[in-house]
Amino acid sequence: MCGIVGFTGHRPAAGILLEGLAKLEYRGYDSAGLAVYGGDGSVHVVKATGKLKNLIEKTDNGRSLPGSCGIGHTRWATHGEPNEKNAHPHVSGGFREDSSDYSDTAVIGVHNGIIENYEELREKLQRHGYVFYSDTDTEVAIKTVDYYYKKYKIGPIDAINRMMVRVRGSYALALMFQDYPGEIYAARKDSPMIIGVSDDESFLASDATAMLGYTREVYYIGNLQAARLLPGEVHFFDLNGDEISIPKAEVTWDEKGAEKNGYEHFMMKEMHEQPEAVRATLDSVLREERMSPAAKWSFGAGTLDFSGVGLPDEYLESIDAMTIVACGSAWHVGMAAQYVIEELAEIPVRVELASEYRYRKILSPANAVVLVISQSGETADSLEALRISKQMGIRTIGLVNVEGSSIAREADKILYTKAGPEIAVATTKAYTAQLALVYAFAVRLAFVKKKIDEDTYRKYVQELKSLPDHLTSLLDGKGRIQWLAAKYAGTKDAFFIGRGQDYAIGLEGSLKLKEISYMHSEAYAAGELKHGTISLIEDGTPVIGILTQERLLEKTISNLKECKTRGAYVIGITNAENPLVEECLDFVLRIPATDDHFAGLLAVVPLQLLGYYSSVSRGLDVDKPRNLAKSVTVE
Ligand code: F6R
C-alpha cells in the first residue's frame, strides 16, 4: 500500500526522502512523487509513474529539488489509474497543462488510506469553484483542508481538524502549507504513520524502516490526532486543537533487517532468518527454571511462561473458547493453530477471515477470547475485527510482529513475534514465527488446563526448542527444491493437498507459489479433491501432498494415488518413515522428524522455497510481485 515520508531539517531533503521511499518500496506501489520547499518560498512538485528509479532519474537523484523540507509518496492505486496526475503529492489548485505546473500550491499533501465520502466532498468543493485534475480521493482531502484554511483564515492545525471532522475513511496525511515554510503537518486515522525526531531534524513515515538510518526515537501518533513538525521538534494536537503530549518510544529493530545482506532477494534472506526468528520468538515466552538464563535452551530445561507478556496462567485457565481472526497467510497460521489448540487444549477454536468476521453476526461463547494475528499490525480488516470484538466486550489478544502498530496498541493483550522487519511481500519468517508462538501458546494452555501431563508438557517444550535447528538443516538442503521448481517452471496448474494441519500448510504453500510465480495453484483438504476439482488433473500436473500427520498419512496417500492414476506428478513432503511414501510418490522431500503437532512449521519451508525458485525460474520480481502490497491498510 502507499508509503509516505516527510523530512524537515537543515540539509537537502530530496535525497533523504528518496532514500526513505526506497525503504518503503516493499509495501507495493505503481507511481511516486516528491514536493520540496525551495529556499525562495516556492514549492516544487515532481511525479513519475512506475518504479522509483524513474523519479530518481527525473530529479537527478533529488539534486534538482533544492530545499531542506519536503514530503514524498509511493502510490498503490485505488481511486484512478496509476498515472502522473493521480500520483501524489496533490495540491490546492488546478494543473496548468501549458506550464506543467499547479496554479496554487498553498496546501500540498500526500496520503495513505481511503476517503470514503470523497465524491460528496468533491461536489461540494466544485460548487465553491474548485477544479479537480485527478481522479483521486486524496486531491479531495487536500482541497478540503485548503477550503477551510482559506475560508476561515485559520492556522494549519485548525484547518486539518475541520477536515478530519468532515471526512470519513482512513488516512495518514502529510501536508505542507506554503505560508509555513520548513514545517510539515500530519494527521492520522486508521492508517499507519510514525514520527521520528533527532537533535535538529524531524521525520515522518509509514513505518520505521524509512527513518532507522537517522533516528530510533519515535512517536506513535494516535487516531484523530494531528502533528506539527519543525526541525528537531514535534508538537501534537487533539481534535479540539489543544496541544497534547505523546510519549517518545524507541525502535528496537535492527536496521540491518531492512537490508539484503548479500542475498539476491529479501525473500531468500528472510527464509534464512527463520531459525533466528523462531528462536527469538520462543525465547520471549521461555523461562529458565533452575539454572542460568542461557540454560533454558539446553536439553530438558526451561518452561513456557506467558505471564511476562501479560498472560499469566490464571488468564489462560479462564479461556474456554477461541476465535482466531486474520487475513492471508496470518489466517493460514490460524487454520493450523486451530488443529493444535483443539487437539492439545481441548477448547473449541473457530478461525475467521477478518474481512468476513467484521460483517457477520458475532456469537461469542462464554469466556472466549479473540486472537487477531497480523505481521504488520495494520491490516485494515484485522484491525476492524479487533475493534468490533472489543466493542462487544470480548477479550482480545493481538499477535503482531511490528512494535507500536495499531493492533499492538489497541488489543487488550499483546503477543509479539520477534521476526524483525519483513520486507519481501510474501511472508516467510513472520509466518513461521507466528506458528511457533501459537504452538507454544497451545502447549501452555493445554498444560494449565490439565489436558496434558507434566511429562508430555516437557516433551513438547523440548520439541519446540528443537525447531530452530531443524529449520537450519531444512534450509541447507534447498538444492533439490531448486531443481524441482526449474522442472515445473512452465506448468499451468498445481495442487496442494493434506488433511488436518497439513491442509492448513497446503493453503500457505499454494499462496506462496501463486503470489510470486503467478502460477495457478489451489489447496484442498485431501478428501475434497474428488468432489469436483480432480477434473483439472492432467498428465504431468504437479500435486503436492503434505504428509506430516501420521494418523492421516494413509488417507492422504490414497488421495494422491487417485491423482497419480489420472496422470499427476505426485510430490510428497513428509517426516514419515513409511514404505507407502516411496512406493507411491514420484518425488519425496523429507523434513526432520518432530512431533506431528509441530511438523507443519517445518513442512512449510520446502513450500516457501518452491514458490521462491518458481518465481526466480520465471524471471519474476520475487520481492515485489505485481498488484500486491505488503501491508493492506485499506478494506
Ligand atoms: C502473503 C502475505 C499476506 C499477509 C496478509 C495479512 O504472503 O503476506 O497474505 O499475510 O496480507 O497481513 P498481516 O499479517 O500484516 O495482517
Cell numbers 481511486: residue: 79
Q: Which three cell numbers stand for residue 301?
A: 530445561
319 confidence band (pLDDT: 50, 70, 90): very high
Phi, psi values for residue 7, rounded to 5°: -145, 135
CA distance 113 to 192: 9
Question: 177 C-alpha to center of ligand 1: Å?
Answer: 36
**Smallest Cα–Cα separation from 566: which of 533, 544, 534, 588?**
534
CB-based burial label for 479 (10 Å; 0-12, 13-18, 19+): exposed
Using the predicted structure, report yes or no on whether residue 39 has a pLDDT greater than 80.
Answer: no
CA-proximal residue: ligand 1, atom 9 (nearest): 328
Q: Are 177 and 106 within 8 A, CB to CB? A: yes
Atom of ligand 1 nearest to the CA of 379: 16
CA distance 302 to 291: 9
Q: How do residues 458-506 score in pLDDT, each as one tens digit?
A: 999 999 999 999 999 999 888 899 999 988 888 889 999 999 999 999 9
292 confidence band (pLDDT: 50, 70, 90): low
CA-proximal residue: ligand 1, atom 16 (nearest): 374
CA 120, chain centre distance (Å): 32
Lowest-confidence range among 22-36, 121-135, 374-388? 22-36
Q: From residue 437, give the alpha-carbon distance in Å to each of 245, 270, 284, 341, 432.
A: 34, 18, 9, 12, 9
Catalytic residue among 2, 69, 327, 563: 2
203 confidence band (pLDDT: 50, 70, 90): very high
Q: How do residues 332-355 score in pLDDT, each as one tens digit?
A: 999 999 999 999 999 999 999 999
Q: How do residues 544-592 score in pLDDT, each as one tens digit?
A: 999 999 999 999 999 999 999 999 999 999 998 888 888 889 999 999 9
Q: Which three cell numbers stand for residue 588?
A: 519425496
Lowest-confidence range among 99-113, 235-249, 535-549? 99-113
The residues near 116 (Cβ < 8 Å, ≥ 6 apart) are 167, 168, 169
First to last CA, the chain: 11
Bond before 89 cis per omega within 30 degrees: yes
Atom of ligand 1 nearest to the CA of 425: 8
Q: Is the CB of 427 under 6 A from ligand 1?
A: yes
Lowest-confidence range among 83-97, 406-420, 512-526? 83-97
Using the predicted structure, report yes or no on whether residue 291 has a pLDDT greater than 60.
Answer: no
In the chain, what are the domains? 3-191 (3.60.20.10), 266-471 (3.40.50.10490), 479-617 (3.40.50.10490)
CA-proximal residue: ligand 1, atom 1 (nearest): 426
Question: 509 C-alpha to center of ligand 1: Å?
Answer: 14
Q: Is the CB of 327 under 6 A from ligand 1?
A: yes
Active-site residue, 563 included: no
Supply the DSSP string of 372-431, one letter for each residue: EEESSS--HHHHHHHHHHHHTT-EEEEEESSTT-HHHHHSSEEEE-------SSS-SHHH
Select from 329, 371, 401, 405 the residue to mutate for testing ligand 1; criterion: most ligand atoms less than 8 Å from CB.
329
The string over 115-128, giving b where at least 16 C-beta atoms fall within 10 Å of a residue's C-beta and e elsewhere, is beebeebbeebeee
Q: Is the CB of 382 under 6 A from ligand 1?
A: yes
Q: Is the CB of 329 under 6 A from ligand 1?
A: yes
617: helix, strand or coil: helix
Using the predicted structure, report yes or no on whether residue 225 has a pLDDT greater than 60.
Answer: yes
Active-site residue, 630 included: yes
Atom of ligand 1 nearest to the CA of 376: 15
For the packed helices 429-448 and 328-345, what is the interaxial angle rounded to 10 degrees?
A: 20
The alpha helices in 128-173, defined as continuous H runs, are 137-151, 156-166
Question: 375 C-alpha to center of ligand 1: Å?
Answer: 7
pTM, to two decimals: 0.83
Q: Which three cell numbers stand for residue 525?
A: 483438504
Atom of ligand 1 nearest to the CA of 382: 16
Q: Is the CB of 417 under 6 A from ligand 1?
A: no
CA-proximal residue: ligand 1, atom 11 (nearest): 328
262 confidence band (pLDDT: 50, 70, 90): confident
Q: 220 versus 98: which is more confidently predicted? A: 220
Q: Which three cell numbers stand for residue 229?
A: 513538525
Q: Is the CB of 386 under 6 A from ligand 1?
A: no
Question: 607 C-alpha to center of ligand 1: Å?
Answer: 16
Q: How many CB atoms lie within 10 A of CB 395?
A: 18
Question: 630 C-alpha to center of ligand 1: Å?
Answer: 7
Q: Is the CB of 515 under 6 A from ligand 1?
A: yes
For the packed helices 454-476 and 429-448, what is the interaxial angle rounded to 10 degrees?
A: 170
